[in-house]
Amino acid sequence: MPHAVHEPENLNPLETDEALLLSAFRKVAAALTLSIHDQAALLGIGPSTLKTWKTTPGRDTDKLDRMALFVGSFDLAGQAFPGERGAEGWFRRPNTESIFDGKAPLDLLLRGRFEALLRTYDYLHACVRVW
């Protein structure tokens, strides 16, 4: 008789996805050497809230969207600008494109505005599609 495969009863796919996204966010933050304060600013929360998130950020869609846009932007920057220092360098170098106003993309993102995350993602997505 075949053995049935049993998944743990407490496994929630949504929580698993959130945990994976938080893990990816932390890896990108580490690659960019972002402080807890910088990470919290990207997510539009206080540093103490970020510190309490051990495995999942809860079901706050705004924060999850912010994480996804930031992680996605980092990935796209690596694809669009694979040269020296790749995505890390791109995020830290001043950019003359009008949406960045001569500032480094990371400087704008650290202001905590969702719109900046969305516009950065859209810009990088367009850069990758051109190639």
Count each helix (H run) and each strand (E run) in the chain, helices first: 7, 0
Residue 61 contacts by C-beta under 8 Å, 6 or more apart in sequence?
A: none
Q: Which domain holds residue 39?
A: 15-130
**The one-letter amino acid at 80:** A
Give a yes or no: residue 89 inside a domain.
yes
First to last CA, the chain: 54
Could you give the CA distance from residue 61 to residue 114 in angstroms, rounded to a whole number?
A: 12
pTM beyond 0.95: no
Give a yes or no: residue 23 inside a domain.
yes
Q: Count how many domains the chain has.
A: 1
Give a yes or no: residue 3 inside a domain.
no
Query: What is the sign of the dihedral through the CA atoms of 82, 123, 125 and 37?
Result: positive
Q: How far is CA 6 from its chain centroid?
A: 33
How do the pLDDT tens digits run along the chain, 131 residues long?
A: 444 444 444 544 445 688 888 899 999 999 999 999 999 999 998 888 888 876 666 677 888 999 999 999 999 999 998 876 789 999 999 999 999 999 999 999 999 899 999 999 999 999 998 65
Give a yes or no: residue 5 inside a domain.
no
Give a yes or no: residue 108 inside a domain.
yes
Could you give the CA distance from residue 5 to residue 46 in angstroms, rounded to a whole number?
A: 42
| Backbone phi, psi, residue 60, to 5° | -80, 105
**What is residue 46's DSSP assignment?**
-
Give a yes or no: residue 83 inside a domain.
yes
